[in-house]
Amino acid sequence: MERSLRKYWPIFLLPTVIAFIIGFVVPFAEGLYLSFCQFTTVNNAKFIGIKNFIRAISDAQFGASFWFTLRFAICSVLSINIIAFIVALWLTKKFAGNNFLRAVFFMPNLIGGIVLGYIWQILINCVLSIVGKPLLALNSTAGFVGLIILMCWQQIGYMMIIYIAGLNSVPDSLIEASKIDGATNLQTLFKVKIPMVMPTITICMFLTLTNSFKLFDQNLALTGGDPNHQTEMLALNIYNTFYARAGAQWKGMGQAKAVIFFIIVILMSFAQLKLSRDSEIQQ
Amino acid sequence: MKKLLSIFAILTLITSTLFACSSNNTASSTPATEAATEAAVDAVTEEGTEVANEPIAEAPKASGQVYYLNFKPEADEAWQSLAKSYTEETGVPVTVVTAASGNYETTLMSEMSKSSAPTLFQVNGPVGLANWVDVCYDLKDSAIYKELTSDSYALKNGNSVLGIAYVIESYGIIVNKTLLAKAGYSIDDIKSFADLQSIAEDITARSSELGFSAFTSAGLDGSSDWRFKTHLANLPIYFEYQNDGIEQSPAIKGTYLSNYKNIWDLYINNSTADPKLLSSKTGDDSRNEFLAKKAVFYQNGSWEYNSLHDGGFSDDELAMIPIYIGVGNEANQGLCTGTENYWCVNKDSKPEDIAATLDFMNWCVTSERGTLAMANAMGFVIPFKSAVASPNLFVRQDTEYTREGKTPVAWCFTTMPSEEWKNGVGQALTAYAADQTDDNWQGVVTAFVDGWKTEYDLAH
């Protein structure tokens, strides 16, 4: 059996490879090629070299979106992970109703981003109008905070589930040993539990970081980039460059931005993976 | 042996999936060819009867199909049924897809990249045409071009005719005459901006006693802000062009922006809503306020007639008056009348599809069914020789005003440099509405004047 598997694996792989090529490799290659072209529809592209990239990088709005995205990513990664971890710690204690609470916390994750965005827009606008502050369309600070609240609300439940799984896999013997050695609860947490769930933390950090960087639906629905593109994140900026602008020069530029965006996300995630991997310990 | 068998089984599976794909392809192409042959047969058989019954309408002979990407959500239903009756009559399949409000360009762009791209689409004027000029079929020799009542309704690029205007629309301030009478006025009292201002402010002063406001909310949500950042902004641009004797400009001067400010102040400070909350008010909010008789004035266009009529208004209760901003000869000012709806034909479509599309367009504006549907179901005034008078009150009023010798205000907003410019102005108007300081108005002026130049330079 094993010998024949070794011999015929390409046949078993074929369907997936074909799907991967059609669904990913070809569009990606075409997208890469288009970033060097001027075009209105993808069928009439004309090669123009790296002009698109020069225009994309010199676009001040793109830079501003990058910084906004970076600030957002840092805040949301920290807040989501810290809160999710605390909730996970609480829900791994044994008490009545803890399964119900897990479900409750997980629920927001099942609602789509666009819907959530509009619901929170109404909620936040209500609050802002009650306290007499400018509404979301004019208030970039509220937009930023609103985005973080929205993302926390949506993502904490999901990350919490992963953390609960991680915390449950910490061997009881280790915790017992630390108790016998006279460690306080805090000491057990920082010296035993956290080092043991480091792989889980890596995964959650990776997920939240890439999610925050690639955020689109929530951004579009909640603020739409208002006011004056001040809350426009990278993905929305690319979308607006490509679609909201009339004229051939913008399409290629949007495409070039998308390629730059891809490289940034890849670099970020690798750096982050490497950093957290280094702090993982082997059991 | 077992191994061989299993490999064989796997291979069959894979090949069968491949075949399944290809057979799908042929399956999807068969109905089209069938429809085409059917159409040809129908055309041949029906030709005789057609001519006998209806000598004016030409029987289309094309064997292609039509795919129309419609811009007007409010006319979607009417287009669908018109397309259906055309298919019944000629056998030519017509697909009408309507893009969601505000998403036309986006939808068009993605549809155009498909192998079955729209054969008929529309652009909003010279600025919109710039984006699609490479794919527009030259309509110089088409039958529909010869049907136009005036050459000015053709969108030209050099010697070629790339777009044909298919509807002429008007906008102004829609008035609820009953409420206006309750407040002690009639539309004859409004002949200038000063009149409008004094009446609106008087209504505001007595609004708790009267139970209604002067204006519906000037919502600045995306579904409504075009009424102000595009349509209202047209007036200062129009008067500036008139003043300078030009038709477009690489740099707007903003000569009449103080008048723009006056009418904007009037709108936001005499309305049903707190100006601070305008950024979240939608187009539906505004229409519903008007339908609920909470306000006298409602700035919108002739395309609103059907929804107001369906909402329970009779023609006697409604009127549309010009938007006075206190510039020029106000006694002689008419409604803002023009078009931003030009039909374009996709030249990259198959030749038989282009032929079918041209026939369909011509049928819509010449045949009895087509012209009736456009006039009644859609409420359009169409600039073609066989046009039928529309029951649309606002459209009739526009004709009336013109007959009285008033000059319609042209739609200069088709020369606005880009959507981005409109968004900039909209944003500044929102900021100003929430906090009416001189600094914030300066923001509007900057977005209007400097933004125009920036965006114009980016586009050229």
In a domain, A184, yes or no: yes
Boundaries of domain holding B439 = 170-337+393-459
- Please report the residues numbered 139 through 198 in chain A whose beta carbons come closer than 8 angstroms to any beta carbon of chain B: none
State which of B377, B406, B436 marks the end of a domain.
B377
CB of B109 within 8 Å of any CB in chain A?
yes
Q: In A, which residues are within 8 Å of B105 by CB distance?
A: 243-244, 246
Q: For residue B114, what pLDDT is reported?
A: 85
Compute the nearest-CA separation of B450 from chain A (Å): 15
Beta strands in B59-212 (DSSP E): 66-70, 94-98, 120-123, 154-157, 160-165, 169-176
Rounded to an integer, what distance in angstroms lies between the CA atom of residue B25 and that of residue B43?
27
| B86 neighbors B357 (Cβ within 8 angstroms) | no
For B196, what's the count of Cα atoms within 13 Å in the CB-facing half-sphere? 27
In a domain, B289, yes or no: yes
Do B112 and A244 lie within an 8 Å CB cutoff? no
In chain A, the residue whose alpha carbon lies closest to the alpha carbon of B276 is A134
Q: What is the CATH number of the domain that holds B307?
A: 3.40.190.10
Do residues B264 and B121 share a domain? no
Do residues A29 and A57 share a domain? no
A280 compared with B424, residue with greater pLDDT: B424
| Best CA proximity match to A82, nearest among A155, A145, A146 | A155
Whether cis (ω within 30° of 0) applies to the bond prior to B322 is no
Domain tally, chain B: 2
Tokens 């004859």 label which residue? B188
In a domain, B300, yes or no: yes
Do residues A138 and A214 share a domain? yes
In chain B, the residue whose alpha carbon lies closest to the alpha carbon of A122 is B280
CA–chain centroid gap for B36, Å, is 32
Q: For residue B375, what pLDDT is reported?
A: 87
Q: Which amino acid is at A229?
A: H
CA–chain centroid gap for B215, Å, is 23
Do B130 and A247 lie within an 8 Å CB cutoff? yes
Compute the nearest-CA separation of B382 from chain A (Å): 27
Compute the nearest-CA separation of B152 from chain A (Å): 24
Q: For residue B38, what pLDDT is reported?
A: 41
Do B105 and A243 lie within an 8 Å CB cutoff? yes
B31 compared with A144, residue with greater pLDDT: A144
Q: For residue B25, what pLDDT is reported?
A: 38
Rounded to an integer, what distance in angstroms lies between the CA atom of residue B219 and that of residue B278?
5
Q: Report chain B (460 residues): mean pLDDT per 10 consecutive residues.
A: 55 48 38 40 39 42 82 89 92 91 82 89 87 89 90 87 92 94 93 94 93 93 89 95 90 93 95 88 92 94 90 92 92 91 92 93 92 88 87 90 90 88 92 92 95 88
Rounded to an integer, what distance in angstroms lies between the CA atom of residue B219 and that of residue B279?
6
Do residues B280 and B324 share a domain? yes
Q: What per-residue string of b and e applies to B185-208 under the rule 16 or more CB within 10 Å gives b? A: beeeebebbebbbebbebbbeebe
Do residues A99 and A224 share a domain? yes
In a domain, A45, yes or no: no
Do residues B34 and B87 share a domain? yes
Domain tally, chain A: 2
Q: In B, which residues are within 8 Å of A8 by CB distance?
A: 7
Do residues A17 and A100 share a domain? no
Do residues B38 and B178 share a domain? no
| B426 neighbors B220 (Cβ within 8 angstroms) | yes
Preferred mutation among B14, B131, B229 to probe A, highest tally of A CBs within 10 A: B131
Interface contacts (A, B; CB < 8 Å): 76
Do residues B177 and B298 share a domain? yes
Q: In A, which residues are within 8 Å of B277 by CB distance?
A: 129, 135
Do residues B314 and B284 share a domain? yes
Do residues B144 and B283 share a domain? no
Report, as an integer, the average pLDDT of A259-273. Answer: 89
Do residues A30 and A66 share a domain? no
Q: For residue B352, what pLDDT is reported?
A: 92
Identity of the residue in A4, A41, A226 whose CB atom sits nearest the CB atom of B112:
A41
Distance in Å from the first CA to the final CA of chain A = 34
In a domain, B47, yes or no: yes
Q: What is the CATH number of the domain that holds A219?
A: 1.10.3720.10
Question: Which DSSP string do the residues of B121-166 spell out, in sequence order?
Answer: EEE-SHHHHHHHGGGBPP-TT-HHHHHBS-GGGEEEETTEEEEEE-
Do residues A16 and A131 share a domain? no
| B278 neighbors B434 (Cβ within 8 angstroms) | yes
Report residue A91 as tokens. Answer: 């829900």
Tokens 């209504």 label which residue? B203
Identity of the residue in A15, A244, A248 whose CB atom sits nearest the CB atom of B14:
A15
pLDDT class of A281 with cuts at 50, 70, 90 = low
The one-character DSSP state at B381 is B
According to DSSP, the β-strands at A37-38 and A46-47 are: antiparallel
pTM for the model = 0.78
In a domain, B15, yes or no: no
Do residues A65 and A181 share a domain? yes
CB of B18 within 8 Å of any CB in chain A?
no
Do residues B212 and B267 share a domain? yes
In a domain, A62, yes or no: yes
Judge residue B448's burial from the number of C-beta atoms within 10 Å of its C-beta, 0-12 exposed, 13-18 middle, 19 or more buried.
buried
Cross-strand partners of B409? B336
In a domain, A48, yes or no: no
Q: For residue A163, what pLDDT is reported?
A: 95
Boundaries of domain holding A166 = 53-278
